[in-house]
Amino acid sequence: MLEHTRFLTRGSNGNFRFGPELWRLGSLYRRSFDLVGTPLDRLKQGAVEEVLLVATRDFG
């Protein structure tokens, strides 16, 4: 079953190892955390714009 679904593959020596399906699922899981960066990037950009606005108003 695990071999059929590609969770495990059998090497030439007969031993099992992790298969490509586990890599694919791990990649999907890791990509789900990339969504967290987007709001943080917007927050950082907003802070930079606010600092620039204050700096140009006070020193410009």
What residues does each domain of the chain span?
8-59
Strand partners, 16: 10
pTM above 0.75?
no
Query: Pick the residue with more confidence: 14 or 29?
Result: 14
The CA distances from residue 49 to 3, 34, 46, 52, 60, in Å, are 54, 23, 5, 5, 15
pLDDT at 57 over 60: yes
Helix (H, G, I), strand (E, B) or coil at 16: strand
pLDDT of residue 42: 74
Q: Among the listed ranges 11-15, 26-30, 43-47, which one has the minimum average pLDDT value?
A: 43-47
pLDDT(9) > 80: yes
Report the DSSP pairing between strands 8-10 and 16-18.
antiparallel
Which amino acid appears at position 13 of this protein? N
In this model, does residue 60 exceed pLDDT 60?
Answer: no
